[in-house]
Amino acid sequence: MSLKDAYTEVATRYVQSAEAAAGASVQEAAAFQAYHAFESIGGALAELRNQKYPMAHESKLSMFVATARNRVYGRSVAELGIVLASLRNKVLYPEINAANGTVMRPSGRITTPQAKKLISRVRGIIDCVSEEI
């Protein structure tokens, strides 16, 4: 199996996992798994273009956006990349709200319907990239 195909497999499996987590109302896990699926399909596109996919998360998203820029789905990748980048750590780690001192939990950062919409958008990108591969 090529690295491109392995990235595609990871993306597909993680979006399926995200759907299962959302179905179980574990929306923060669903959102993170959707993020990972998005990153992974970006790796497949990078491999298709003979680019070395970086290890750092921000660099991965930047490369995916740049590589997809002139494709029909390029704007969607850019928009979704912004959403996912801002959400990643919020759905992984609790934080203290500096304004009032309350603890913000990952499960409170996204609703199940929001997670399902995010997953649908990621699946659409996976489908677009997979058609190209």
Domain of 78: which CATH number?
1.20.120.330
If we measure between CA atoms, which residue out of 21, 3, 4, 1 comes closest to residue 133? 4
What is the overall mean pLDDT for the chain? Answer: 96
pLDDT in tens, 64-84: 999 999 999 999 999 999 999
Report H helices in 1-102. 3-23, 27-48, 57-68, 74-87
Does the structure show a pLDDT above 90 at 133?
Answer: no
What percent of the chain has pLDDT above 70? Answer: 100
pLDDT in tens, 113-122: 999 999 999 9
- What is the C-alpha separation between 88 and 82, in angstroms, rounded? 10
Domain boundaries, position 111? 3-132
Taking residues 92-116, report their average pLDDT: 95
Lookup: tokens for 117 = 């919409």
- What is the C-alpha separation between 69 and 108, in angstroms, rounded? 33
Contact (Cβ atoms closer than 8 angstroms) between residue 87 and residue 109 = yes
Q: Assign 21 a pLDDT band (cuts: 50, 70, 90).
A: very high
Q: How many domains does the chain have?
A: 1
